Structure 1
Amino acid sequence: MNTIQYIKSKLKTTLLAAGMLCAGLYSEAQQKVFKPGQIWPDDKGVHINAHGGGILYQNGKYYWFGEHKVAGDAGNRAMVGVHCYSSTDLYNWKDEGIALSVSDDPKNDIARGCILERPKVVYNKLTKKYVMWFHLELLGKGYAAARAGVATSDRVTGPYTFIKSYRPNAGQMPFYPPFTGQSEKVNCAAPASETDGFFCRDLPGGQMARDMTVFVDDDGKAYHVFSSEENYTLQLAQLTPDYTGHTGKFIRIYIGHQTEAPALFKHNGIYYMIGSGCTGWAPNAARWFSAKSIWGPWVYHGNPCKGADSAITYGGQSTHVLPVAGKKDAFIFMADKWTPKDAIDGRYLWLPISFKGNDIEIDWLDSWDLGVFKK
């Protein structure tokens, strides 16, 4: 070995040792608490990049999927895709890479630079596929497309293959349970309100689908909830058995009130949903609903947040409610604190949900751990 080779070898060994030391120091500093609104480093020490996301629990592990943001003016457009992280304890997250990549083909629905928001992944036991749904806006079209997009994978971490995007339930009228009042039924021959007019306008080509979530019920049936009718109504729509399409059965919720960021969960046989108003990137008061049947009636209950800054959801906006595996009555409210001028710096607000009978409350905590929940 000559002198130059020796120096290179020693340098490589030194750098490797330094890297291992840094990794060791970081591993010893594993998180044991949640700190809402603070920088949340992954296993590489980088702030988690999974905004507007949701979590799937599968085979003893949690998988967090969210929008991968970038620095600069393009931060709120999809320049990379959907990022995936995994965890066994919810505090510490391993970077699993990009689960769904945007396309370099500008004619592709998920072309680089499109708007791809609020990805949610569910597992289909019949097909043994992982199914990802997301809100999609086509490249260069602003928020005019208002589509739902779907992708699938054989592996939870991906890669996911994009299937299609479209507006749901074209040509379909809402499902009306027996309790539905006549005033809630749409008459497209003479729409009774501006909101009904939006519904009727979009009836032939399908309903607008923006902020969204996906929920799988105890019987394995899945539902897609999304802001529709220029965001003035939430629609809850049943998905096909393979979870990659819509059956045509859907209802309208909280008609005539602009609602975004739906997050649906179930507790003791009651369905709950948390959402927000529509104020752009600025935070507003959260709102919650409950129903004894997935098909309603859905009852509006006001703001679940309490205390200081509850009127702005502590600076955040709902994205998902996570049931904690192995614990009773344990649900985590997940929200994003958006920073549109530096989207990559967006923070995560995770807070425990408290049940007061059949009511829910969310209180601010600077720091907390899973010990707040009963086993």
Structure 2
Amino acid sequence: MKYPKSKYLIVLILLFAKFNLSSQSSSPGYTAFRPGEIWKDNEGNHINAHGGGILFKDGIYYWYGEHKGKSSLARVGITVYSSEDLYNWKNEGVALSVAKDPDSEITSGSVMERPKVVYNKKTDKYVMWFHLELKDQGYAAARTGIAISDSPLGPFTYLKSYRPNSKQWPQNFKEDWKETAKNGDPEEWWTPKWRKALKEGMFVRRDFENGQMSRDMTVYMDKDDTAYHITSSEENQTLHISKLTDDYLDFTGEWVRMQPGGQNEAPAIFEKDGYCYMITSGLTGWAPNAARSFRAKSIMGPWEKLGNPAVGENADKTFFSQSTFVLPVQGKEDSFIFMADRWKPKNHINGRYIWLPIEWENEKPIIRWKKEWDLSSF
């Protein structure tokens, strides 16, 4: 049966309208942050970018994070989302895919966590660092991986992984700590003798030849474009801060230990009024704990303790979340967003994002719970 052309046009218009309405209904059109709630992307799906970090380039924010399924194992890779307003995010796909080669360090079943991307002006490359654990080794490998791209959206090319600072002593290491005591290091953990040996470099000496452990990590870029790698090391007991080479692809050998034996994880760093500030978590696995904060005149320290930045109800659990990044808001001087994940170890894909504004009291960062807020808070 034939229809007049006008009827064809009406059918096409109706189909287009239906498609357009469907498209609009899947795009949330957020105008505020709602911490802990499902946060949908432009396609109507829960944003899958856990343990994330953000790069701002040419007016666009890029959010990189771990693509999670039910478990913590990498089955897809590192995802990337883009936004101009921080509320609404476009799914840009996979920035760094797991490898099809079963012998690759980033094959499916490995662990790829806490990706951070920085742009190198000298090389015109986007450089991604992330925590890497090798397949079927649990968290024993304790490595940091690196990948590069010509575009913030990728695809990123995986280069290699490191145990940082092989055969390099930290700059704040005492000379007499370089030699193991005559009686050897204590084998029994958590004793006063063990704690003393830890502070005096027991694990640094152990890993001196093959490089230091690297788990929860971040990358910080100074105002002069010098980049630093900050990671939880020494069996997660001590943070290591390392200066990177000019191309951001390797370690210079200049590094320091921060808070030996302090059990800090999940480092997030930002700068304000001539100070470097750092927010971390304690060491309780997937379970939440009270955050910590520190500041220093130089990223290489010394660092002073400022206490738990979270205040109010559930501050002792950091509102049931763990830090991943501190985001400077463009166009709003000295305005920062505390980014954290509310982990769901029984079903990782259901992890929620906790974004809260950082306030200031007595030159200390303060984080208060807000059920809903927007950038006018700054």
- Per the TM superposition, whether the score is higher than 0.5 is yes
State which of 197, 208, 212 in structure 2 corresponds to 1:193.
197
Is 2:223 the partner of 1:212? Answer: no
- TM-score for the superposition, normalised by structure 2: 0.91
Counterpart of 2:127 in structure 1 is 131
Measured after TM superposition, the shift of residue 194 of structure 1 is: 3.1
Measured after TM superposition, the shift of residue 340 of structure 1 is: 1.2
CA distance in 2, matches of 1:123, 1:185: 40
Q: Which runs of 4+ in 1 moved over 2 A?
A: 9-19, 24-27, 184-192
Q: Which amino acid aligns with 1:19?
A: F
Q: 1:146 to 1:49 in 2, by over 3 A?
A: same
State which of 310, 335, 342 in structure 2 corresponds to 1:305.
310
Counterpart of 1:48 in structure 2 is 47
- TM-score for the superposition, normalised by structure 1: 0.92
Measured after TM superposition, the shift of residue 17 of structure 1 is: 4.4
Q: 1:193 to 1:11 in 2, by over 3 A?
A: farther
Contact 1:53 1:67 in 2 (8 A): yes
Q: Cα deviations across residues 15-49 of structure 1 (Å, max 9, x unaligned)?
A: 6643321112345x410000000000000010100
Measured after TM superposition, the shift of residue 206 of structure 1 is: 0.2
Q: 1:49 to 1:12 in 2, by over 3 A?
A: farther
Contact 2:180 2:202 in 1 (8 A): no
Is 2:136 the partner of 1:140? Answer: yes
Counterpart of 2:29 in structure 1 is 30
Is 2:166 the partner of 1:167? Answer: no
Is 2:263 the partner of 1:258? Answer: yes
Q: Which amino acid aligns with 2:325?
A: H
Contact 1:188 1:197 in 2 (8 A): no
Q: 1:42 to 1:194 in 2, by over 3 A?
A: same
Name structure 2 gaps, 5 residues minimum. Answer: 4-8, 186-195
Q: Cα deviations across residues 236-259 of structure 1 (Å, max 9, x unaligned)?
A: 000010001100000000101211
State which of 201, 214, 227 in structure 2 corresponds to 1:222.
227
CA distance in 2, matches of 1:129, 1:171: 28
CA distance in 2, matches of 1:133, 1:249: 18
Counterpart of 1:87 in structure 2 is 83
CA distance in 2, matches of 1:166, 1:135: 10
Counterpart of 2:376 in structure 1 is 371
Counterpart of 2:65 in structure 1 is 66
Q: 1:280 to 1:2 in 2, by over 3 A?
A: farther
CA distance in 2, matches of 1:293, 1:317: 25
Is 2:141 the partner of 1:153? Answer: no
Residue pairs, 1:113-124, within 5 angstroms: 113-124=109-120
Counterpart of 1:242 in structure 2 is 247
Q: 1:193 to 1:10 in 2, by over 3 A?
A: farther
**Count of paired positions:** 360
Is 2:278 the partner of 1:273? Answer: yes
Q: 1:334 to 1:189 in 2, by over 3 A?
A: same
